[in-house]
Every structure is written in structure tokens, then in C-alpha cells.
Amino acid sequence: MDSQDMIDLCKKHTMYTWAAGDNVEPIPVERAEGVYFYTPEGKRFLDFNSQLMSVNIGHSHPRVIEAMHQQLQQVAYVYPGTATAVRARVAKMLSELVPGDINTFFFTLSGAESNENAIKAARSYTGRFKILSRYRSYHGATNACMQLTGDPRRWANEPGSPGFIKVMDPRPYHYSFGESEEEQTARNLEYLEEVIMYEGPDTIAAMFVETITGTNGIQPPPKGYLKGLKALLEKYGILMVCDEVMCGFGRTGKMFGFEHYDVVPDIVTMAKGLTSSYAPLGAMGVSDAIAEHFKKNMFWGGLTYNSHCLALSAAEASIQVMLDEKLVENAARLESVMREEMERLKERHPSFKEGRALGLFGMIDVQKNSAGERIAPFNGSHPAMTKLGQFFRDNGLFTFVRWGSFMCNPPLCITEEQLREGFAIIDRGMEITDAAFEG
């Protein structure tokens, strides 16, 4: 099938996400390998976003393909009440990989389903009802996850159901809790404690946080925040749930984001990098105390495809590749190259506002004047950003442009040379936003 047929039929017979179908201009993709993917006509794209920050080991790894092939020949699927070797092996592997006392896993098909089940588990375990989460967040597109989510994607899904309480991040979009990281942490936690008092501590089951905020800014928490948050929540018997759907599995230069902050949550949710997207799979990992509870009490949750053998074989092989090829270490090593490239962009481009990178989790904000005003308004766009996105696409760089920022999240197998190749395209592209600077 050629590109045009692919586009026409997909647009005619399928619905696209987060878009009015007529406005979508999908990239036709025929094959993918490593950090590149290709159209039927052979145009090559450097994948600078790992698709949806999820193809962590890179595309079409032969070991994963082989493992999935072998699993298919044995058994593709059996119902969730069975025991299988692949389920046993992956659960054991995860219990060794996830730090602390998180040793028990419930398998789902996505990040959203992992969070849905974490809401259920937290409510059932604590006997409490309310759930705290932060405005500057995204947790998935199912009904309850839209209510966990704070960003504007929530609006069209309102009104939600009672019991979902939103709070501010220690690093909100505009408002500031203080100049220094210490001050941001201290003031935010003071504010949060007051919210908890007003809501009634005995009514709150859990607080969900993206360990490192993803789509809403690639924002690591300020110093001491996660540790302070854990202590505050513990004081009131509230569970801490770390959503590692985007930042987990090596993205930040450690296997899990919370490993940067010397803290272990009560529940961790994961998906994306768990299989590097070779098959849909998510998981909720729970502490030993919570696991013990569900040994004695019913877990009121189920999915036809819970512990799907094929998806688990993809997880096992993909994690093994990540370990054997030292891809987490590669992400940690290349953080300095990403930062160096961002510094160079800053020197060369007046429209460069700020760059953030933790491992290969990166984002660049664009400004419209020397006062540092963002080029696009909150939840809005700017013609120069639209043009920049088009430039990236025309020049074979695939990444996400959102509001006044764009992403730098390549697969963790990227080489230094390939990373610099991506930044060379960005360097040329930012002449477009420079032209709009103070214009």
C-alpha cells in the first residue's frame, strides 16, 4: 500500500486520538528499526520521541521479535486464573528490579488501566474514598484517569465523579512557591498539609504523582519534595502512588524515576517502557503490606487480558535487552550530551527559553521575548511553533510540539552521533522561532 492509500483509508475508517479527524495529517509508516522509522516511499525519520515516549529499547529488536514468536508458538493467551511460566518469570523479574518492598504485580494493558486499578486498590486497602492528584499532570484517558489528570484534556470529560481532589505542583506552570528548590518544596508541602486538613485526612486514600512530570513539562521535582511528600502522606495514613508510566524503564537514566529521590512509593504504576511498546502491557506494583491485604481480601478487579502471555514475553525480552545492552546507563551517559546541545542552542537562539534533561527525558521551552514570556499561551499555540513542527517533519525529525515547547525523548539505544544529528535539525529549525522573537 502506498502512503496516500494508507492515509486515506486510515482517515476514512478510523478515529484519531485527541484530534478532529479532518485535521490530522498522519505520517505513513511502513517499517522501523533502531532509532529510525520509514515511510513506504523510504523517507526516514529520526524518532526523537520514542513514538509516545515508549519505544525505550528502539524499534524492531530481533531478540524481542524472536521471544514473542516463541511465546506465540507455545501459548498466546490463557485466562487470568491460570499460572504460566512467562507470568511467573516477569513478576519475579519486576520484583527484583523495582526497589524496596514492591514485590507483587497486577498486569493490565495500559498506563490508564494501571492507574484505574491503583485507585481501586488504594480505596479498598485504606477503606477511604478521596484521591489527591496534581493539576500539572496526565494519568490516562479512561474515565477515572481523566479525573486524576489535571491538564486541560480533563475538561471535555467533566463533570467527573466526587472524591477527586486536585492540588498544585511544587512547580506550577505560572505560580511560584519560591525561588529556591528548598523553598518550593517547603511551601508546597505546607500548603498540601492544609488541603489535607480541610479535606479530612481520614477520607483520603491516596495521592497520585507523576514521579517526574511528563507531558506537562518534563519537570523533575524540586529537592526534597518526594521524600517530604512521602513523610507527610504517611503521617496521615495516605498512600503514595508514583505514576512511572512515562518516566519508568530507564528513560531518566535510572530504571525507575523515584530511584533518583531515595524514596519508595506504596504503589507504582507502569506501562509504555515495560514492553518498549512491542505489545500493550501495563502493571500496578504494590508494597508487601498491600499485597498481604489482597491475599486475604478480594481484589475487585479483572481484565480479560490480564497477564497476557504474548505481552509478557515482550516485557521479558525488552527488559532483558535493556539490561544486557546497558541502555539505562546509556541514557544516563547521554544526558550530558543532551545538556551540552541545549546549552549550545541557548547561545545561538534568542527564542530558546529553557531546556530540561534527566537521562534521555528532555524538553525545550521557547520564548517570544527577552522577558522570558512563553511563545504560546497556556493550552494554546503560535504560528511559529506550528511552522517549527512542520520543519521537523519535513527534515525527518519526529517529535512532539506542544504549546510553546517540544520534546527530546529518543530511544535509549541512541548513539551520541544520532543524538547530535537530531539537535542539528533542531538548531536549524529554531531559526523559525527566532524570526518570531520580539517580532
Sequence-distant (6+) residues with CB within 8 A of 190 are none
Q: Between residues 270 and 331, which has the closer beta carbon with respect to ligand PLP? A: 270
- Tell which one of 47, 116, 243, 259 touches ligand PLP (CB under 6 A): 243
- Tell which one of 61, 87, 134, 139 touches ligand PLP (CB under 6 A): 139
Please tell me whether the peptide bond between 152 and the residue prior to it is cis, using omega within 30 degrees of 0. Answer: no
- Tell which one of 47, 116, 151, 210 touches ligand PLP (CB under 6 A): 210
Q: Between residues 139 and 353, which has the closer beta carbon with respect to ligand PLP? A: 139
Q: Between the CA of residue 132 and those of 44, 81, 233, 282, what are the distances in Å?
A: 43, 32, 11, 22
Dihedral sign of CA atoms 85, 91, 92, 97 in order:
positive
- DSSP characters for 175-209? --S-SSHHHHHHHHHHHHHHHHHHH-GGGEEEEEE
- Tell which one of 121, 218, 245, 366 touches ligand PLP (CB under 6 A): 245
Residue 253 · residue 331 · CB < 8 Å = yes
- Tell which one of 138, 225, 278, 400 touches ligand PLP (CB under 6 A): 138
Q: Between residues 214 and 429, which has the closer beta carbon with respect to ligand PLP? A: 214
- Tell which one of 132, 246, 321, 407 touches ligand PLP (CB under 6 A): 246
The alpha carbon of 305 is separated from its chain's Cα centroid by a whole number of angstroms, namely 22
Q: Which stretch binds ligand PLP (CB under 6 A): 174-182, 210-218, 252-260, 356-364?
A: 210-218
Q: Taking CB under 6 A as the rule, does residue 352 contact ligand PLP? A: no
Size of the site for ligand PLP (CB under 6 A): 15
- Give the shortest CB-41-to-ligand PLP separation in angstroms: 30
Interface of this chain with ligand PLP, residues 106 to 135, rule: CB under 6 A: 110-112, 115
Q: Taking CB under 6 A as the rule, does residue 338 contact ligand PLP? A: no
SS3 sequence of 51-118: HHHCCCCCECCHHHHHHHHHHHHHCCCCCCCCCCHHHHHHHHHHHHHCCCCEEEEEEECCHHHHHHHH
Residues that bind ligand PLP (CB under 6 A): 52, 110-112, 115, 138-140, 210, 214-215, 243, 245-246, 271
